Chain A
Amino acid sequence: MASTRPPRFLLTVLLIAAVAGTAYLLWRDVRPAAPPQVPGATDGPPARGGRLVVGLRSEPRSFNRHVAAAAFTDVFTHLTQARLVRIHRQTGELEPLLAESWTIAPDGHHFTLQLRRNVQWSDGTPFTADDVVFSVEAAFDPALKSVLAASLRVDGQPWEVRALDTHSVALAFAAPFGPGLRLLDLLPVLPKHRLEAARRDGTWATAWNPATPPAEIAGLGPFQLAGYEPGQRVVLTRNPHYWRTAPDGAALPYLDEVVLEIATDASTELLRLQTGQLDMLQQALRAEDVATLQPQVDSGAVSLVDLGVSTDPDAFVFNLRPEFWARDPRAPWATSRALRQALSHAVNREQLANAVFLGEAVPVWGPVTPGNTRWFSPNVPRYAPDPARARALLASVGLEQRDDDPWLEDTAGRDARLSVLTFRGGTQLERALAFVREAAAAIGVALDPVPLETNALIERMVTGDFESLFFSYSTSDLDPALTRDFWLSSGSSHLWHMAQPAPATAWEAEIDRLMARQASTTDEAERVRLFAEVQRVLAEEVPVLYFVAPRLSMGVGRRVRQLSPSVLRPHLLWAADSIGVTP
């Protein structure tokens, strides 16, 4: 009797075919393609209503900008609070917000602000001059230790503020200050009626923490907190009392809801953008992410929004603290300008931009990049790729080839070798460092990378416990007078030698002097000239090497409308009241 069972090889073939077919289906993305994106459609007229879903990389730690400097708190503040004035992130111009007009006294540092009338907090309470006075006093209250205080002080002094009536305020800085009222962009106005008790009874630091019921948090921004689901999302809904209107008179914001979806893993976040679970991310895309998103860009599901050249270049910082090198025999060459300039000559910035950033980066020779159009000075010393010049500079500090290994040695026979701390997991940064290491090796200098987790690296940086470090940091403001912490030798962000009681070198004293003049004059042309001089001095001394500044772009879902992209953070959400989505 003949068997009715199919032969085994047939079953095996069928099985293999089934597996291969399934794999093929998965490979060729079985999702239906979206209609091609109409160019510029993201700038189309927004519809009222809808929900915008945005990625968030960390859990909220505080909803009070005076208490936390974390990225979340900054974004949350942009979405839920308002300022007296704001700097338009695209034009750089000062715009009236809660202060609808102002006058400046002839001395240049006394101001009278007229506040907007008929404005209400999100809980319906009227906004008055008392709220402004409260916010300024909170920023400088020594008991509260606001994280904003250091940035807001003028000449090291707090502002003077008093209410003239319910809708006008007198404000005075200790001295004329270059940025003038632009400084007010840093200060969110907080509700006195909600936070005064916390200020009085010493619970300020924990008021408005993640456990606070949303109803207790009021703001003047376009949205209000509706809920926080730990580990999942922060939900914001339209502020029913928001006071701004669109140029056509339409009430703002357009959106009903903004949802910040928490996903601490960058790759998962990118996948969620690809699948349409997120409408946008908050971070600019890495070069490799742009390639990953290309199929979605081609199908119209995602648009790439160009932000321009980043204002945050990568930074190779040398430790120039004398106390760190006091007992190290390498100090004479390790802290020398010749070594720093030699390494700058060793690196071909164009090649670095091509190899690591796939061409999406521009060479830079200082911390101010072409992305900062107002303050960038092209007239700084540039270090062309020149290995011969680099070796000559190294020889000038006694570093020469004295044995058979690839490294130069000093007069005592010690290798020209430095450790370099860098962020672990920052793929772009790690690849850039690999490029710099190769370039340094070509002139006989060994760089030993030490990848560290973010918190550990910052700790080492703050305590000055490093030989060199390679990382990227965020510029908080484009105006140099508002980033004096970096430039001044006494600054807590003066990376190579923080918080000096007096300038340790003549060139740092020169920068201090120029920056003081630059910050205290209100003559814009003079400020630009003085700051160009500061940039020149820094580029000559190169305590920090800058190689490239990437061109930034962001991935945005096809539903999103009317964006105002900015190179400054938050790149897209700084004008969230104007953003809309198609239903």
Chain B
Amino acid sequence: MLRRLSLRLVLAVALLWAAGSLGFVMTQLAPGDAALADVGPGAVEAREALRARLGLDAPLSVRYQRWLTGVVQGSLGHSVLFERPVVDVLRERMVNTAALALAALLVGSLLGVPLGVYSGTHPSAIGTRCIRGASALFVSIPSLLLALVLVLVSARTGWLPVGGMTGAAAASSLLGLIIDRLSHLTVPALALALPLAAMLEHTQAQAMADVSSMRVIDGARARGLSRRAAVWRHAWPLSLGTVLPVYGVLAGSLFGGAVAVEAVTAWPGLGRLMLDAVRARDAALLAGAAMTATALLAVITQGIEALAAWRDPRTGTDA
């Protein structure tokens, strides 16, 4: 057990190093630099001074060594774009992305799981056909496109704000603040949640069909339970062995989708931060964001794996 944990820890550190290094080096190799973006092409002296201040006049190997030394010592460096420590910027954005991802996960689960249970246990109902059709639609639409459609719908209807995380006017009460946040969260969360719900529905339906074939429901009903109780109390828990591991995969696609959705909906999260960092050639910020996203993904994947192992100890062994 200890050996296994150690191995995973080493792998996690290697993954973080690879993600950060790749982000840092690729940004530094791209043409143009932060000084150019800041002072423009005309002011030559000011640009050279800024390059020197930011350390951009040193060779790439020296810049990389400085950055890596900082990381080993616990510092992710200084953001050129925000003129602040990278850690401070990441802390703010991580919370925003986490809020968005959790909301999407919650909405996706609340939609996908019950619909999957229904369609898995009512294979020939017309409702199931509708659900399957919608699932097929949302699974095949990328989050970026869905975000654009939702933004367009919001714009045409005026029902929801089309960008940002909060309104320009400060909320005057707690209730107003909550409503403001929720209204801004709806579009990006739905853009991520609907494909997620479709995938969950599909997996859950398959798992329920498999469990149903084990005559679990018939047995429970023979003992006097209603059909609904038999499904939810006996069949559904058994299906989780198949559904829970899928969350690990979904977490990955969630982060991938978040980059595009955050850009379209102006949600100030890690994904949009990475885009801004690339545009501004902020190597330390991009490396830090890549490492944070990798770490978050690793933690979520491991957490889900642990949950699945707890649910079914057979899935936790290496054998």
Contact = CB atoms under 8 A, between A and B. Distances in A.
Contact of A263 (B38, B81, B83, B163): B163
B45 A145 contact: yes
B42 interface: yes
B55 to A, nearest CB: 13
Contacts of B139: none
B306 interface: no
B161 interface: yes
Nearest to A463: B31
A126 to B, nearest CB: 30
A206 B168 CA distance: 28
B313 interface: no
Contacts of B38: 61-62, 68-70
B169 interface: yes
A59 B81 contact: yes
Interface stretch (A110-118, A331-339, A453-461, A513-521): A453-461
Interface string A492-516: 1100000100000000000000000
Nearest to A259: B168
A71 B163 CA distance: 22
Interface stretch (B100-108, B232-240, B244-252, B260-268): B260-268
Given A70-B38, A147-B40, A264-B263, A26 B156 contact: yes
Interface of A: 8, 11-12, 15, 25-27, 29-31, 51, 53, 59, 61-62, 68-70, 145-151, 205-206, 209-211, 229-233, 259, 261-265, 268-269, 271-272, 274-277, 452-462, 485, 492-493, 499
Q: For the complex, would chain B's binding face be called helix, strand, loop or mixed by DSSP majority?
A: helix
A62 B54 CA distance: 14
B85 to A, nearest CB: 9
B162 A268 contact: yes
A145 B52 CA distance: 12
B43 interface: yes
Given A232-B268, A264-B266, A264-B275, A485 B163 contact: no
The winner among B41, B92, B269 for most chain A CB atoms within 10 A is B41
Contacts of A51: 168-169
Contacts of B156: 26-27, 29-31
A268 B266 contact: yes
A493 B43 CA distance: 9
A-B CB proximity, top 9 nearest: A231-B268, A455-B32, A209-B83, A456-B31, A145-B49, A459-B32, A31-B158, A263-B266, A147-B43
B155 interface: yes
Given A31-B157, A263-B164, A459 B83 contact: no
Contacts of B276: 59, 264
Given A147-B43, A455-B31, A211 B281 contact: no
Contacts of B50: 145, 205
B43 A150 contact: yes
Contacts of A276: 158
Nearest to B84: A211
B82 interface: yes
A68 to B, nearest CB: 5
B51 to A, nearest CB: 11
A460 B45 contact: no
27 contacts: A15-B130, A25-B157, A29-B157, A31-B158, A51-B168, A69-B40, A69-B43, A70-B37, A70-B40, A150-B42, A205-B50, A205-B53, A209-B83, A210-B82, A232-B166, A232-B268, A262-B268, A263-B266, A268-B151, A272-B164, A275-B155, A453-B32, A456-B30, A458-B32, A459-B31, A460-B31, A492-B44
B176 to A, nearest CB: 16
A426 to B, nearest CB: 14
Nearest to B40: A69
The winner among B44, B168, B281 for most chain A CB atoms within 10 A is B168
B136 to A, nearest CB: 15
B36 interface: yes
B266 A262 contact: yes
A272 B163 contact: yes
Contacts of B40: 69-70, 147, 458
Contacts of A259: 168
Contact of A458 (B36, B165, B167, B169): B36
Contacts, number: 172
Contact of B83 (A15, A211, A457): A211
Nearest to A460: B31
B92 A275 contact: no
A12 B126 contact: yes
The winner among A12, A231, A459 for most chain B CB atoms within 10 A is A231
Interface string B42-72: 1111101110010000000000000000000
Interface of B: 30-33, 36-46, 48-50, 53, 81-84, 89, 92-93, 96, 126, 130, 151-158, 161-169, 263-266, 268-269, 272-273, 275-276, 279-281
A230 to B, nearest CB: 6
B155 A230 contact: no
Nearest to B130: A15
Given A275-B162, A277-B163, A231 B273 contact: yes
Nearest to A461: B41
A62 B268 CA distance: 19
A463 to B, nearest CB: 9
Contacts of A53: 168
A263 B263 CA distance: 8
Contact of B37 (A11, A210, A455): A455
B52 to A, nearest CB: 10
Given A230-B89, A231-B272, A456-B30, A261 B42 contact: no
Contacts of A12: 126
Nearest to A9: B126
B316 to A, nearest CB: 40
A230 B282 CA distance: 15
Nearest to A212: B83
B83 A26 contact: no
Contact of A11 (B126, B157, B268): B126
A271 B266 CA distance: 12
Contact of B157 (A30, A62, A146, A277): A30
B237 to A, nearest CB: 31
Given A210-B83, A265-B264, A69 B155 contact: no
Nearest to A70: B38
A460 B36 CA distance: 11
A146 B126 contact: no
Contacts of A263: 163-164, 266
Contacts of A261: 164, 168
Contacts of A149: 43, 45-46
B272 A206 contact: no
B279 A458 contact: no
A492 B40 CA distance: 11
A307 to B, nearest CB: 23
A492 B164 CA distance: 39
A233 B198 CA distance: 35
Contact of B272 (A31, A62, A264, A499): A264
A233 B167 CA distance: 10
B39 A69 contact: yes
B168 A62 contact: no
A206 B31 contact: no
Given A233-B168, A453-B279, A210 B41 contact: no
A268 B42 contact: no
Nearest to B153: A26
